Structure 1
Amino acid sequence: MSECALNKALTSLQPGHVQTFLCGSAVDALGQLLSADWEPVHNCRVVTQTWKQLPEQAQMIEDIVATLAEVAFELWPDWYQPGSFVSSDNTATDALLNRYSALALQEKLEGLCQPWLKAALRAHQKGKIPVLKAFPHGLQLAQLSLAIDPACLVLAIVIEDTAPLEHRLLGLAKAVSWLADQSQARIALFISEDLSTASELDSVLYGANRFASTAASVASPQAVEAKHTVFPIHGKPHPFSPGEQKLAEWLAKDTELATLFHFNQSVKTVKLSPYIVDLLWAEGRVVVEIDGYRHHGNQFGFAQDRQRDYELLISGYVVLRLPHDQVMADVEVAVEKIRDVVRYRRRQLSLPTDFANRH
């Protein structure tokens, strides 16, 4: 299955349904999933959940609720639709609810639970992730799914365990079907080919797709990354990329660079390929990519990066790649590299600058 076919399979899934993908390497499948370019045209938001060792059924559900709650927390204030809860001050919970009630009525958003929303807003205003134990898991799943993306949430579950206990496999089959029903998300289950004959998974193996992995990823002892992520993100630093967050903070304070770059922007190449790039200076046609190991530390990710660079190059863009670890270790050096590229492009394109005489 190609990247394009994978995107199509995920976005064509019906709400509340499960699609299983059999993989030679679930780790590599995750790398390909993360490396794919998800444009707004796909009309979906993808959240991933990875388990190295398959847990018990109850723990699976607890983990998924926690993952969706953390994603929702980081996506604030863009619940339900961008800017739903933006305010210039610390608006009281009741005022936010009153404002959103009118919006929800106007948009005819179905399934919204006002008591959950009120409790979630209060939790967020206290800086707490909205895992609300006063509400049953099913209701939390439905409300979190609605907040993250009311149109099309895809929950990609990746199981790295190639030999789980049989009762846990049965628990997995029951859990994913229940998750799909309660959240009405599209569930994509990535499991090893070794599990293709497991009778415990019969209910989710029917109609399974085979996913052709490119090569096994190599473990990185230095990589300590979250077991989940969310994409696509547009117009702001990715909430689960510390490198993007840190670079955004430093660029915002830089008088030369602050107004030039925008995060997670869409670019279409001369080959008509749509890409989302980490940072873009549109006027100077400069792209900055912050390469984390999880997205790029496998053969597919490496090849995909080379293809992106080639298409951006022939489309007139200069691409600067910064390793995520280096951005975190010395963000000042990263900013200076960006400054050097900006000044190079200004000279190359004869763009005006107020900073030509600096340094």
Structure 2
Amino acid sequence: MQKVKILFFIYQMGGGGAARTLLNIINNLDRTKFSPTLVTLNFNGSYESELKDDVQFIKLSTTRLSRSIFELSRIIKKEEIDIVFSTIPRVNTIAILATKLANSKAKCVIREADNLGGDWKTNLQLLGFGFAYKFSNQIVSLSEGVKENLVNRYKVKPSDIKVVYNPIDVEIINKRIDQGKMDPHVQDLYNRDEKVIVTAGRLVEQKDQKTLLQAFAKVNEQIKSRLVILGEGPLKEQLTNQASELGIADKVHFIGFQSNPYIYFKHADLFVLSSKHEGFSHVIAEALATGVPVVSTNCKSGPSEVLYNGLYGQLCEVGDADEMAEKMLLILSKPKEEVEEIINKGYERASHFDAKKIVKQYEEVFLQALNS
């Protein structure tokens, strides 16, 4: 049987959820059926070193997405690609154009990863993406909530969308926990007689660490705790100043991007996500897989689906520091036996998103698109 050649196209293999998802799909594809090629713009990404050795990896000569169309199109034609797979609206649009321009047998499968929307300009732009999406061969949404947003804001037909949850590589997560080591300075925080609360994500408005800091200040008044923040971004100085204003500067620790976040999750007492919006929330599923209880905002649309409406973790309203603190205290004050029960339920839920299961669903999508 001739292998199906799949080209994965993304801006860069950086530290975000989209890149992590592509990494998990690429590495877990059935090599007896599929041959993967990864194409990115001319950037260095933190996940590149985690790609399996048999992946053909091509970097374009440009760092500008708008200038990548012709080069990407030439690669699609030259490599005789069967399926082009991309994620994120602007990247998806470029992938569709390049696939059409290649004038080859290639089919285009695109993935939508977030609940986008806002002012009239943003919503008008989404209609433009929706128009472009109609020229793809298949649209994948990573949650039911994102599918609903595609229908309402992009005006895409529900029948053109398939929902496939994000894959998490449980085997790799466990291996990284077993083999990984914390930064010695951070390790010391975990060794003190205080609760450790951890969060991970870009320091940007969407992740709303501002509300988390307010909630943590309330929690720390009742239970002595540390807040460990993984991630980098433009709001670091603003958030650092806010921590000082709240009188918790010595309790909040910004440790930047970590290539192995799982060991920091594993040994924490609680993971908190404070986002204003998500598509799926890959990081919550990964946190459950490490064995840490989760509190998350009930933002559109991923957390309630990952946590199954609160069955596998606590949900609170977006931007509500009081309710967030209440839910955090609820977990942190539970006896050890109840916490163990929460952790075991988290392991059970994480297994539903295991890459081995989810990637099989993606393989079915690719084969169906190929035969459409």
What TM-score, normalized by structure 2, do the two folds share?
0.31
What TM-score, normalized by structure 1, do the two folds share?
0.32
